[in-house]
Structure 1
Amino acid sequence: MQNEPTGEPVTGVVAARDAPPAPAPTGPETVQLNHLVAIRRLLGFILLVLVIMGLYFARDVILPLMIGLLIALTFSPVVRSLHRIGIAPPVTATALIVSLAAVIGIGAFILSGPVSDWISQAPRLGDQLRERAQTLLASFEAVQNASEQVSELANDAEDPTVQRVAVQTPGILSSAVGSVASVLTTTIVTLVLALFLLASGDLFYIKLIEAFPRFGDKKRALRIVYGIERRVSRYLLSVTIINAGLGVVIGLAMWGAGMPSPIIWAIGAFLLNFLPYIGAISGVALSAAVAIVHYDHLSQAFLVPALYLAATAIEGQLVTPIVLGRRLELNTVSVFVTVIFWGWLWGVPGALIAVPFLVCLKVVCDNVEALHTFGNFLGAREPLPELEAEPAE
C-alpha cells in the first residue's frame, strides 16, 4: 500500500516562499567591487564630456567628414546596383557628385540675387515690420518708455570726463562674405570626400570585415554597416522627395496669395523642411514677417502663415508617416532632443545631420546586445502587452 502524502513538504515550500530574501553579501571584496563600478561610471562620464568638447571645437574638421559620409551612404546602393550591370563605381560616383554639385550651384545662383536684395533691404524691412506690428506691441510701449528714461538718467549721471568705448561689430556684408567662404569650403571638402568614398566601392567594407578575427563578429559588423546604409539612404531619399513636393505646394500657395518671389519660397521651404520641427516653425515665422510688411491689412497677412502651417502640418502628420512607415522607427522625444542637442553643438548643420545620426545609432543599438535597452528607448511607441488581472485575496 502507498503511503499517503503528509503536509510537511507543503509547509516547507510555503515557508521557503514566504521567507524574506537573503541579505546581500557584504565584505571588503564587495565594497571594492562597488568602488570599481563607481570609478568606471565616473570615467565614462568624463570621457563623454571630453568627446562633446572635442566635437564642439573640431566642428570645422568633423562636420564636412560627417556630411560627406552621409552623402556616400545615401548613394552607395545606387553605385552598387550599377556596378552589378557593369558600370564601374568611379564612373557612377563622378556622375552622381557632379550632378549634385550642379544642383547646388544652380540653387545657389537662383538664390543669390533675392537673398542679396533681402540682406540689403533688411534694415528697411525691419523698420517697416516694426511700424506695422506697432499695434500688436502697444502693451510694451510703457515698458520701453520707462527703459529709455532710465537710460537717459544714467547718461546724464555719468562723469563727462570719462571716455566711452564702443565696440564696432562687423557689418552684414562682411559677415555674409565670411559665411559664404566657409560654406563654400565645407561644400567642396564634403563633395570630394563623398566622391572618394563612392569611387572606392566596397573597399572600406572589406577592410572593416578584415579587422575582426571571428566570423560572428564579421557578420555582425557587416549587418550593422548594411543596415545603416539602407536606412539612411531610404530616409534621406524619401525626405528629399517629400520636401521637394512640399516646396512646390508652398511655392504655388505663395504665388496664389500674391507673395513676392514665390520661387524663393519654394526653395526655402524645401531646405527648411530638412530641419525637423525647427524648419517648419522658422518658415511660418518668416512668412508671417514678410506678409505683415507686404499686405495692407493684418487679416490678409495672417493668411500666408496659415497656408504655410497647413502645408507643413499635412506633410508632417499625413504624408511623411505614410511614405516612411516603420522605416525610421524613432520616437518624437528622441528626435526632438537630438535635433536640439546637435543644433546647440554645431548650429544649423548639426540640426540637419541630427536625424541621420540618430538612425545610425538606432541600427547599432539594434545589433549590439549590450545596447538593446537604449535602442528600445529610441524606438517608436509599441502597444503595451495585455496584463492579466491579479486574483483578489
Structure 2
Amino acid sequence: MPGQSIEQDEQDADPGEHHKGAAALIAPYRNGAVLGIFLILLVGGLKLGQALLVPVFAALLTGLLLGKVQDWLERLGVSPALGAGSIMAVLLAVVLGSVRLLFIPFEEWSAALPEIYAALKRQLLSVRELLLTIEQATDAVQETTGIDASGEAMAVSAPGILSGLAVSVPATIGQLVLFSGVLFFYLASRSRLSKQLAEAGQSYPSLSNFKTISEAAENSVSTYLSTVSLINLGLAVATGVLLALVGLPNAWFWGTLAGLLNFVPYVGPLLLTFLLLGAGLLQEGTFLQIISPALVFFAVNFLEANFVTPTVLGRSLLIEPLFVFLSLGFWLWLWGPVGALMAVPLLLVIQAVVSHMLSKADF
C-alpha cells in the first residue's frame, strides 16, 4: 500500500541519518583524540631519542644565542666558516677555563661531603630526640587504646646524584662531537639558509612563515640568553664578594657556581642555598654565622629575581612564572639536568611559534 511504502522508506532512511548525526557529534572528540595521540607519540619520541636530540637541540639553541655574533663577523668580511670556527674556539676556551677554575675547589668541597653530612647529623640530634619521644608516645597510645597508630619506618638515604649523572665515556664523546658539528655547520650556513628561505618564500608561503617564526625565535632566545648571562655574571660577582665578607672559603667558587646554577630557574638557586647551608655547617661560630652564607645568597637572589631581572628584561621577554615552572618540570623529567637548562629557551621558541599562529588565525 502507498502509506506502508512511505513508512518503509522512512525507516530505511533512518540508519543513514542517525549515522550522520552520530558522526557530527563525534567529530570534535575525534579531532581531540588525534591531537592527544600525536602529543603522546611526540613525547615518547623525544624520550626515546634523548641521546640524539639533546645535543642537537642544545647546539641549535646555542646557535640562536651566537647567531648575532656570526652576523657581525660576516659583516666585517670574515668568511662564514672562519667566523664559525672562531666562535667555536672562543667557546671552547671559555668552557675549558671555567672547568679548570672550578675543578680544584669542587674536588675539595666534594671531599668534604662526609664532614657536611656529619655536621648535619649533629645539628639534627635534637630533632631525633623529638622523634623518639613521639614514637614512645605512639606506642603508649597503642597499648592503652588498642589502636595501631604506628607507621612504616622512614628510611633516609642520600640520593645517588653522581651515579645518576654518570654516563659512558664513548656516548659522551659522541654527543659532544654531534653538538660541535651541528653548532659549527648551523653558524657557517645560517646566512645562506636565510637567503634561500627568503627566495623560496616567494613561491611557497609556508616557507616564508617558517622564516618569520625562526627569526622571531632567534631574536627572543638571543636577547633573553645574552641579557640573563649578564645578569648572572653580576649575580656571581655580588655573591662572591659578599661570601668573602662573611668569611666563607673559596668565595669566588661559590659565586661562579651561583651564576651558573641561576640559569635553571627556581631549582638552581634552591640547590645552591642548601649547598651553602651545608658549607656553613663546616665553619665554626654562632648559629647566625653558620647560616650567613645561605642567607646572603638568598637575599642577593631575591633582589635579582624580583627587581633586577624584571626591570632589565622588560615585559616583552617576561614569561608567566607558571609556564616557566611547568616547562622546567617537563624538560627536567624528560631530559634530566640538561633539559632543565634548556627549559626557558625552548619555552621562548614555543612562545614564538604560538604567537605567530595566533596572529595568522582568523577568529
- Structure 2 length normalisation: TM-score? 0.80
Q: Which runs of 5+ in 1 are unaligned?
A: 1-25, 148-170, 374-393
**Against the structure 1 CA distance between its residues 87 and 144, is the aligned structure 2 distance closer, same or farther, given a 3 Å change threshold?**
farther
Distance in structure 1 (CA, Å) of the matches to 2:161 and 2:194: 46
Q: Label 1:186 to 1:241 Cα distance change in 2 as closer, same or farther (>3 A).
A: farther
> Aligned partners of 1:371 and 1:303: how far apart in 2?
53
Give the whole-Å Cα distance in 2 for the aligned partners of 1:43 and 1:172.
Answer: 39
Cα contact 2:224–2:313 (8 A) shared by 1: yes
Structure 1 residue corresponding to 2:40, chosen from 41, 49, 53: 49
RMSD of the TM alignment (CA)? 2.9
1:36 maps to 2:24 = no
* Contact map agreement 1:132 1:293 (CA 8 A) in 2: no
What residue number does 1:87 align with?
78
Separation in 1, partners of 2:196, 2:115: 58
How do 1:182-193 and structure 2 match up within 5 A? 185-193=174-182
* Pair 1:325–1:285, CA change in 2 (3 A): same
The percentage of counterpart residues that share the same residue type is 27
Deviations 1:278-312 (A, max 9, x none): 11111111111211232332221122211111100
**Which residue does 2:143 correspond to in 1?**
none
Does 2:238 match 1:249? yes
Distance 1:350 1:135, change over 3 A: same
- Whether contact under 8 Å (2:202, 2:208) holds in the other structure is no
Residue in structure 2 matched with residue 67 of structure 1 by the alignment: 58
Q: Tell me if structure 2 keeps the 8 A contact 1:119–1:172.
A: no
- Distance in 1 (alpha carbons) for counterparts of 2:168 and 2:122: 30
Partner residue of 1:110?
101
Cα distance in 1 for residues equivalent to 2:361 and 2:133: 57
* Counterpart code for 1:307: V
Equivalent residue in structure 2 for 1:332, among 304, 317, 321: 321
- 8 Å CA contact retained: 2:84, 2:188: yes
Paired residues for 1:1-393 under 5 Å: 28-142=19-133, 178=167, 185-209=174-198, 214=203, 216-369=205-358
Whether the 8 Å contact between 1:224 and 1:367 is mirrored in structure 2 is yes
The answer for unaligned runs of 5 or more in structure 2 is 1-16, 139-159
Shift of 1:75: 1.0
Work out the number of aligned pairs and report it: 325
CA contact (8 A) 1:209 1:221 kept: no
Q: Is 1:89–1:200's contact at 8 Å kept on the other side of the alignment?
A: yes
Deviations 1:143-188 (A, max 9, x none): 68999xxxxxxxxxxxxxxxxxxxxxxx998777647776565444
Inter-CA distance 372–119: structure 2 relative to 1 (3 Å threshold): farther
Query: Counterparts of 1:308 and 1:372 in 2: how far apart (Å)?
Result: 46
Shift in alpha-carbon separation, 1:312–1:138, aligned structure 2, 3 A: farther
In the alignment, the residues of structure 2 paired with residue 371 and residue 120 of structure 1 have an alpha-carbon distance, to the nearest angstrom, of 57
Structure 2 CA distance for partners of 1:142 and 1:115, relative to 1, 3 Å = farther
| Residues 42-62 of structure 1: CA deviation (Å, up to 9, x unaligned) | 122112112112212221111
**Contact conserved, 2:264 with 2:340, CA < 8 A, in 1?**
yes
8 Å CA contact retained: 1:280, 1:312:
yes
Distance of aligned partners of 1:138 and 1:274 in 2 relative to their CA distance in 1, 3 Å threshold = farther
Shift of 1:112: 1.7
> Which sits farther off after the overlay, 104-113 or 236-245?
104-113
Q: Is the Cα–Cα contact under 8 Å of residues 74 and 229 in structure 1 kept in the other structure?
A: yes
Task: Specify which structure has the higher proportion of helix.
Answer: 2
Deviation at 1:33, TM superposition (A): 2.5
**How has the CA–CA distance of structure 1 residues 355 and 68 changed in structure 2, closer, same or farther, with 3 Å as cutoff?**
same
For residues 346 and 251 of structure 1, the distance between their equivalents in structure 2, rounded to whole angstroms, comes to 31
| Contact residue 111 and residue 264 of structure 1 kept, 8 A | yes
Return the offset for 1:219.
3.4
Residue identity in the other structure for 1:72: G
Q: What residue identity is the alignment partner of 1:113?
A: I
1:329/1:296 Cα in 2 relative to 1: closer, same or farther (>3 Å)? closer
Query: Counterparts of 2:250 and 2:124 in 1: how far apart (Å)?
Result: 22
Matched residues in 1 for 2:168 and 2:126: separation?
Answer: 36
